[in-house]
Amino acid sequence: METLTLVGCQFGDEGKGKIIDFLSKDYDLNVRFNGGENAGHTVVVGDRVIKYHLVPAGFLSAKSVVIASGVVVNLRRLVQEIEFLRSFKSAFDLRISEIAHVVTELHFKRDKYLEGVRGKGIIGTTLKGIGPAYESKYGRYGIRLLDFEDRQRLVDNLALLSTIYQIPIEKGYVDELLEDYEKIRGYLTDARSFLQEQIDDGKSALFETAQGTFIDIESGTYPFVTSSYTTSGGVTVGTGLPPKYFKKFMGVAKAYTTRVGEGMFPTEIFGTVGDQLRMLGSEYGSTTGRPRRVGYLDLPMLRRAVKLNGLDYIALTKVDVLGKLKEVKVAVSYEQNGTEIEEFDPTVVPDKINYESFTPWEGEPSKLQSYIEFIESELKVPIVLLGIGEKREEIEVRGQISFD
Ligand code: GDP
Ligand code: IMO
Ligand code: MG
């Protein structure tokens, strides 16, 4: 069974899009299993930039792409994204789970309201209605794509949501929703059955998370997290497939760390060094354009990501960017009340961070080699892919993925 699940090892934006785009040529299926348009997965094709929000980032190369039931779908965004992607590839096989939940304008308003009432405790969400869409899913008053088949059912479901949220529905909104729905209706299917049949038939599949390990609703830096399961466990609930269908797991890690929104960040860099790294790495949110907070690579965090996700392989991105800094530092451990801590724990704010320094490697690849070997030996997981530039072809293969 050739199934690979790809997750983000930090706070999101690790470069998953680029790695998925690269890997997907070797897979029959590419499947997104969580999140919504809060995700922005970038692929740079020549002088054009694709930011995938809902469609799996292997769209250009995988034989079929699937939006599984764990994803929450904003119909207008999906319609626009498909239209945009048509200019790159006109014949494609896209399938969308008919039981995926829909993000409505009521969810957008609720997101804004919830952020407003939090005051200083603001999460810094993308304001794309993601938390509320999962909130209504788990509250059992969500709206699924298949509800759109019956106008009255849709109207009734929206009315319930409107009552619970105490937010009125704008005039003409139902027609607008149905208009968008008509445009994607042909892609709807029982995605779980389709995937199960295909994999049983020997097809290979690449599963793609949105976001990163430490903004996972269960294992992340709660409450500064997103509302879905971003870690490898999320792939089974987000696709409906039983756990035994998932063979190997790869984590994407940026050679440094970034975070958008609030929440703990042990290796955060402030001041001019931080500004320089943000500029060198063009660290601005793919979805909201917000400046990303930046910091050094955090090995305690990666150690936990390896454990939480059961990683078999790592793809390390943006080593080209880090090499341009005057001094490259890596957090190797933390300290808490005088005790050394090897692994990040979202419930513990460390007193001290212990760093090791490396000389930058721009134009000196041997130094890059020792940096990578150091990370590999600390994590005990092979780094099989290296991101060495933003273009889709700027990837170095260091090792093979085996399904044995
Ligand atoms: P994702 O959400 O994990 O897919 O990551 P994003 O696309 O939000 O952010 C990653 C950013 O880094 C994008 O602008 C990518 O084009 C860029 N990127 C990815 N890999 C590399 C790399 O190896 N080097 C450089 N310079 N840029 C990269
Ligand atoms: P990709 O898939 C980085 C962050 C938001 C905020 C928190 C909650 O591109 O890696 P939400 O709108 O989800 O309720 O916001 O999660 N966040 C991301 N940060 N990359 C992402 O996706 C993110 N998706 C959500 O900034 O801090
Ligand atoms: Mg992103």
Q: What's residue 362's pLDDT?
A: 80
Instruction: Say which ligand is closest to the CA of 388.
Output: 1
Kindly report the protein residue whose alpha carbon is nearest to atom 17 of ligand 1.
Answer: 390
Whether pLDDT at 287 is above 90: no
From 207, 260, 283, mutation site for ligand 2 pocket: most ligand atoms within 8 A of C-beta: 260
Q: What's residue 230's pLDDT?
A: 98
d(CA 52, CA 222): 26
Q: Which atom of ligand 1 is nearest to the CA of 317?
A: 23
Q: What's residue 221's pLDDT?
A: 98
- Average pLDDT over every residue of 377-400: 96
- Average pLDDT over every residue of 154-163: 98
Provide the residue count of the chain. 404
CB 28 within 8 A of CB 194: no
Q: What's residue 164's pLDDT?
A: 98
From 10, 24, 42, mutation site for ligand 1 pocket: most ligand atoms within 8 A of C-beta: 42
The rounded Å distance from CA 337 to ligand 2 centre is 32
Query: Pairing relation of β-strands 395-397 and 383-387?
Result: antiparallel
- Average pLDDT over every residue of 263-270: 97
More confidently predicted of 325 and 135: 135
Kindly report the number of other CB atoms within 10 A of residue 93's CB atom.
12
pLDDT-based confidence at 166, cuts 50/70/90? very high
d(CA 397, CA 48): 24
Name the strand (E) or helix (H) holding 2.
none
CB 318 within 8 A of CB 281: yes
pLDDT-based confidence at 285, cuts 50/70/90? confident
Q: What's residue 325's pLDDT?
A: 87
The rounded Å distance from CA 213 to ligand 2 centre is 11
pLDDT-based confidence at 366, cuts 50/70/90? confident
* Ligand 1 in reach of 390 Cβ (< 6 A): yes
Quickly list DSSP for 259-275: E-SSS--TTB--HHHHH
pLDDT-based confidence at 313, cuts 50/70/90? very high
User: Cα angle at 111 between 109 and 116, to 5 degrees?
Assistant: 95
User: Cα angle at 309 between 340 and 56, to 5 degrees?
Assistant: 135
Q: What's residue 108's pLDDT?
A: 98
The string of pLDDT tens digits covering residues 238-254 is: 999 999 999 999 999 99
Q: What's residue 363's pLDDT?
A: 77
Averaged confidence pLDDT in the chain:
96
d(CA 145, CA 103): 10
- DSSP letter (8 states) at residue 108: H
CB 389 within 8 A of CB 376: no
Q: Which atom of ligand 1 is nearest to the CA of 285?
A: 8
Whether pLDDT at 286 is above 80: no
Q: What's residue 49's pLDDT?
A: 96
d(CA 73, CA 35): 9
Helix (H, G, I), strand (E, B) or coil at 371: helix
List active site positions: 13, 41
- Average pLDDT over every residue of 197-219: 98
Ion ligand 3, residue ranges at CB < 5 A: 13, 40, 286
Percent of the chain's residues with pLDDT above 90: 93
- DSSP letter (8 states) at residue 140: T
**What is the token pair recorded at 198?**
């295909």
Q: What's residue 365's pLDDT?
A: 78
What CA–CA distances, in Å, run from 65 to 85, 199, 236, 325?
13, 14, 17, 38
The string of pLDDT tens digits covering residues 82-114 is: 999 999 999 999 999 999 999 999 999 999 999
CB 150 within 8 A of CB 114: no
Helical H runs in 281-340?
299-309, 319-322
Whether pLDDT at 367 is above 90: no
Q: What's residue 323's pLDDT?
A: 86
Q: What's residue 290's pLDDT?
A: 87
pLDDT-based confidence at 333, cuts 50/70/90? very high
pLDDT-based confidence at 327, cuts 50/70/90? confident
Residues contacting 8, CB < 8 A, separation 6+: 14, 16, 209, 211, 212, 213, 230, 251, 252
Kindly report the number of other CB atoms within 10 A of residue 324's CB atom.
14
Q: What's residue 289's pLDDT?
A: 85
Q: What's residue 13's pLDDT?
A: 97
* Ligand 1 in reach of 95 Cβ (< 6 A): no
d(CA 10, CA 298): 9
pLDDT-based confidence at 359, cuts 50/70/90? confident
- Average pLDDT over every residue of 353-361: 92
Closest C-alpha among 54, 69, 59, 128 to residue 93: 59
Whether pLDDT at 360 is above 80: yes
Chain Cα centroid distance, residue 5: 12
The rounded Å distance from CA 321 to ligand 1 centre is 11
* Ligand 1 in reach of 14 Cβ (< 6 A): yes
The string of pLDDT tens digits covering residues 12-59 is: 999 999 999 999 999 999 999 999 999 999 999 999 999 999 999 999
Residues contacting 62, CB < 8 A, separation 6+: 24, 25, 27, 28, 29, 30, 56, 206
Closest C-alpha among 47, 46, 45 to residue 59: 45
